[in-house]
Every structure is written in C-alpha cells, then in structure tokens.
C-alpha cells in the first residue's frame, strides 16, 4: 500500500485529484503509517529492521505526496472548493429541536483519517450504515486558533484574522456581529451561546461525559436541544509525543463511547 501511494501523485493533474484520492483511499495510508510509527515494546528484534524500513518508506511517501499537493495548491491559486466544517453542519445545527436534538462534537486536531476510523467503529455491528464522513476544508495554516474558529457553525460573515508582530504572535479572529476573539476558547463558546441562545449547561467536554456518575447526565430537558461537546485529546497527545507512542485507538474508543452515550 505504501509503495503504491508513493507513486500515485504522478497521476494528479489538479487539486481535485489529490482530494479525491485521499478521501477515497489515501487516508488508509495514514492509518497504516500510524501503526508503523507507534512504538511496540513487544516487537521481536528480528522485525526492528523491517519496521525501520517501513518507516522510511512511509516518510518518503509523505514527502512525495505533500510536495505534489503544495505544487497543485500553488498552481490553483486558491484552496479547494470544499466547505469548512462549520459551514457543513450549519443547516443541521439550525434544525435542532426538542423532538430531534443535536449534539456537535468539536474535536481539535481530528484528521480525516481519524474520522473515517471513528465512523467505522460506529457502523460496526449495525444492521444499516449509521455514520458517513463528509470531507471538510482546513484553513491554512492549520493551527488551533484559526482551525477551531472556522469549525463554528452559524458564522454568516467573513472571518477576519490578524496576527500581532511580536516574538510570540497572538491571533485576533473576529466576525461581524460578535465582540470577541474567536482565537480564544472562552469566546468561541460565548459566540455559540449568543448565536443559538444556549444554556450554560449546553457546553460539555468529552471527559465530563465519560466521567459522569449519573446515567442521565446528558439530559436534553436540562441542557437544551443543542449541545456542544469539546475534546482536545489528539492535539494534546500530538504535542506531547504520546500519540506517536501509542497511536489513536484509545482516544477513538473514548469518542465512540461518548457517541453511544449521546444516542
């Protein structure tokens, strides 16, 4: 799989070709890469050289596809015609009602390949397909202050971004009609609360749901028809190096459990 992926970029003539490949099967290469990069203390010595070879092959594949993608982005002169995740879910969020409540999981650093794997966990053992994944666009640069701001549904106006010229740059992300900085988590919640007229109890974290002792902790009567659940596990473990050591299966299982509890 990795060897084939290392050559696939030669057939890309436009940005859409790269997007189509990755969303259909390219994400599986990243899943395989995660398994190769994860540490396994029980791996026999005889396989260490094989793992090192596979890691080098995966890195070469990443380099080749990323270089080609950068070239296509430059040639296109614009980002792909794909919605940001906030735009993609706006209609669903607006439809939330007491009869059909909606819960939105806002997961920092949650890549497309992780979404496909989580969808597979949800569908596993189900009589019908209950989960599908729609591709969404990430802003460039793809960093938390900007990315999380553009995850917010209901932003009708253009988001304006400013960066301070200092040794430690600070972001100011604003949208007309809201006096606040969407680079800040507290202001993002305040923006959602004001726009959708939510209760304070409508905002939860993944850990709060999993650690709750009451079975009816997530109660629409108490919390409202629209909930936002935040998780930063993949971002935190990515920065600390834990994600490379142990992979993403543990956190995916936690997110799957949250979804089961919400349902």
Structure tokens, 256: 């799957």
What pLDDT sits at residue 65?
94
Helix (H) or strand (E) segment spanning residue 86: helix 85-94
Residues 82, 86, 91, 97: what is their CA dihedral angle, to the nearest 10 degrees? Answer: 160
Alpha-carbon distance of 169 to 102, in angstroms, equals 36
- The per-residue pLDDT for range 87-111, each reduced to its tens digit, is 999 999 999 999 999 999 999 999 9
What mean pLDDT comes out for the span 208-225? Answer: 88
Query: What 3-state DSSP class applies to 203?
Result: strand
What pLDDT sits at residue 77?
84
Structure tokens, 235: 């971002």
What mean pLDDT comes out for the span 75-82? Answer: 84
Domains of the chain, residue spans: 2-76, 85-262
The answer to whether the CB of 85 falls within 8 A of the CB of 150 is: yes
Pick from 179, 182, 105: nearest CA to 139: 182
* Neighbouring C-alpha atoms within 13 Å toward the C-beta of 61: 22
The answer to whether the CB of 91 falls within 8 A of the CB of 73 is: no
Structure tokens, 75: 């040639």
Main-chain phi, psi angles of 125, to 5 degrees? 85, 0
In the beta sheet, which residues pair with residue 226? 102
Structure tokens, 28: 């599986």
CA 81 and chain centroid, separation: 18
Contacts made by residues 62-68, CB under 8 angstroms, sequence distance 24+: 62/33, 64/6, 64/9, 65/5, 65/6, 65/8, 65/9, 65/18, 65/26, 67/9, 68/9, 68/12, 68/18
What mean pLDDT comes out for the span 212-229? Answer: 88
What pLDDT sits at residue 233?
94
């Amino acid at each position: 799989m990795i060897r084939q992926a290392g050559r696939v970029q030669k057939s890309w003539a436009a940005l859409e070709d790269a997007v189509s490949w990755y969303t259909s099967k390219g994400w599986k290469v990243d899943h395989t890469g995660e398994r190769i990069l994860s540490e396994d203390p029980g791996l026999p010595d005889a396989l260490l050289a094989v793992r090192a070879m596979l890691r080098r092959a995966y890195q070469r594949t990443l380099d080749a596809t990323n270089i080609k993608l950068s070239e296509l982005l430059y040639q296109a002169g614009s980002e792909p015609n794909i919605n940001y995740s906030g735009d993609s879910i706006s209609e669903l969020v607006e439809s939330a009602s007491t009869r059909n409540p909606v819960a939105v999981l806002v997961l920092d650093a949650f890549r497309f390949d992780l979404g496909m794997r989580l969808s597979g966990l949800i569908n596993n053992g189900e009589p019908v397909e209950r989960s599908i994944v729609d591709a969404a666009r990430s802003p460039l640069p793809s960093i938390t202050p900007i990315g999380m701001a553009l995850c917010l549904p209901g932003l009708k106006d253009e988001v304006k971004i400013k960066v301070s010229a200092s040794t430690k740059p600070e972001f100011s992300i604003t949208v007309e009609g809201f006096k606040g900085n969407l680079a800040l988590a507290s202001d993002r919640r305040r923006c959602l609360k004001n726009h959708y007229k939510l209760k304070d109890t409508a905002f939860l974290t993944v850990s709060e749901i999993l650690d709750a002792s009451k079975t009816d902790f997530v109660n629409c009567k108490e919390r409202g028809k629209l909930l936002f659940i935040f998780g930063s596990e993949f971002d935190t473990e990515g920065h600390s190096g834990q994600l490379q050591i142990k992979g993403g299966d543990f956190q995916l299982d936690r997110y799957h459990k949250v979804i089961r509890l919400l349902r």
